[in-house]
Chain A
């Protein structure tokens, strides 16, 4: 009885993460996108916390704590400040339209579920479906990175991708080094954010002209 409940809650939370990933796909303003990302991290923290409870693995609470404090609070706040300073918080930018993006997203989710459920027939059910959802979140994050041009929204896409990985890692029962890996990832992300901030990749935001880049590369005479 309690076993199925544990499974159900884990499913709801993992499925919720996929849903929030979809919500990120159709945000066309940066500030709204950051809010949704904070929600994404919040759902992840809840999901990881639940896994920690169910698996009886107290070290996972640490990962949940990192997800909450760092990704749901600190990073969104820092990015909010940054985009307001750079004056791009209202920016609307997508390479392809919302409709095709959502369609592609749905196909990716179907693909990941079809692949994962087939491959992991032997694994235990909790890990198995978590993994399918996690792959969906990873693929949606990648989709987001390729459909956006702005450096900030690419970073948000990358962070949501990373949330999917943390979900997968916590779903794999007893996997060591999960905390270390989530710390390593946090460092990576902090680097990215600091990188945008320090180097002020401001110019990036207005020149996305591929020809301009080609000229820099010395590939045009």
Chain B
């Protein structure tokens, strides 16, 4: 183990934790907003260092392998760009008096605490530690969703809290069952909760116990992924909280929960007697996709619209990983990364749009490309990307999922493709009303930071036009690991 990797792992955890404590203590929002950006940048740099360096051998509590490094780099990147967006977003909220400076102290501290919790969940080599980290991430986001203290925000936070807690509780029961399954083989104590040990010995675990555990884990962490029918908290939490939090929820937290499901899926896949986890995930994914696609038509709130779109895309990703195999896994991984980037870019645009127009109602927003060209066209590009149209990268990942599904089970490919098309129609319909046509709502100039949004869009466009061979090789390798 070289020193730098050790240092990088520590930095990924220590920087957000220290920043959370520091930001809680510091007054003055200008300074704290900058420090927030700085801490997020440092974390991202540490993640890149980890990516570039050698993989250290797994420790008793922390692990870095080919699977979680993808999530860590993605998470810290989106965490960093969102903190940049957050700085300009928060400025406006202060000016309009929706948030007081004292709330901001809290907000920034919680933002960094969330980064810490997510990185810990991703790096954890211990199923119990991972569970604690996911719980911590839930708590911090609950607090941030309710930060506006309006009736709706409290309602949303409460709903998220209760549903999230039940999900977390089910996941813990599953975790205990995994330990019970591992116990006779690995022996008591810490080893029976370590990923690296569990995966090696999974083949000899009691299969029925593992099956039961996976059902609980899928339902538990699946609640946090936002898979239908466990998604009820997601639209409210996205719509009522501050928009940077919507971006982080969609871009990061859903992925972290999905990562947990994938880890446990690996355990089941390694056990010949256990049920195949694929069909369960395919079913949940397909239900989420179809449900969300039809629900998109009935949305009247712009943040809710994109929240349902997140459900749809998490469904697509779960479907792809459920299908398995090198192509579908590759496509699922790519789709997850691109969805995080695109959806957070959309929320950056939506956040400023809602601030300028003073409303989130779709009916009161119109003609954005005329009144606010930068914001409007950014939103158009983002929606075109998220709808899966070329030349953006998500076209490619969706295309790969559809073709690989067609090759293996045509009956599944049809509803999947229908879901994609229905969602495409809904998104373009809504986009038309919001971005084009007569101008509705305020035309006051937006004080926005366009850099994070366009940076994400450029990345997504780049992925659609040209995927660098090292990236392809890396993702292929991870897809092979996922089986």
Contacts and interface: CB of A to CB of B under 8 A. Distances in A.
A217 B295 CA distance: 14
B161 A218 contact: no
Interface string B172-193: 1100110110011000111011
Secondary structure at the A interface, as helix, strand, loop or mixed, is helix
Contacts of B161: 192, 195
B391 interface: no
Nearest to B300: A218
B154 A127 contact: no
B215 to A, nearest CB: 10
Secondary structure at the B interface, as helix, strand, loop or mixed, is helix
Interface stretch (B16-24, B206-214, B323-331, B450-458): B206-214
Nearest to B362: A218
The residue among A151, A176, A203 with the most chain B CB atoms within 10 A of its own CB is: A176
Contact of B166 (A122, A161, A204): A161
Contact of A158 (B162, B173, B184, B298): B162
Interface string A101-133: 000000000000001101111110001000100
B158 A201 contact: yes
Given A120-B180, A172-B183, A219-B301, A213 B155 contact: yes
A72 interface: no
B146 interface: yes
- In the complex, which range does the number of interface residues on chain A fall in? 35 or more
A5 interface: no
B354 to A, nearest CB: 12
B360 interface: yes
Interface string B303-330: 0100000000000000000000000000
A120 B177 CA distance: 10
Contact of A181 (B128, B139, B162, B209): B128
A218 B236 CA distance: 11
B209 A119 contact: yes
Contacts of A142: 166
A162 B169 contact: yes
Contacts of B176: 131, 165, 168-169, 172, 175
A75 interface: no
Contacts of B65: none
B439 interface: no
Interface in A145-173: 145, 151, 154, 158, 161-162, 165, 168-169, 172-173
6 residue pairs, one from A and one from B, having the closest CB atoms: A174-B188, A177-B128, A218-B301, A119-B208, A216-B152, A218-B300
Interface of A: 115-116, 118-123, 127, 131, 134-135, 138, 142, 145, 151, 154, 158, 161-162, 165, 168-169, 172-177, 180-181, 184, 187-188, 191-192, 195, 199, 201, 203-204, 213, 216-221
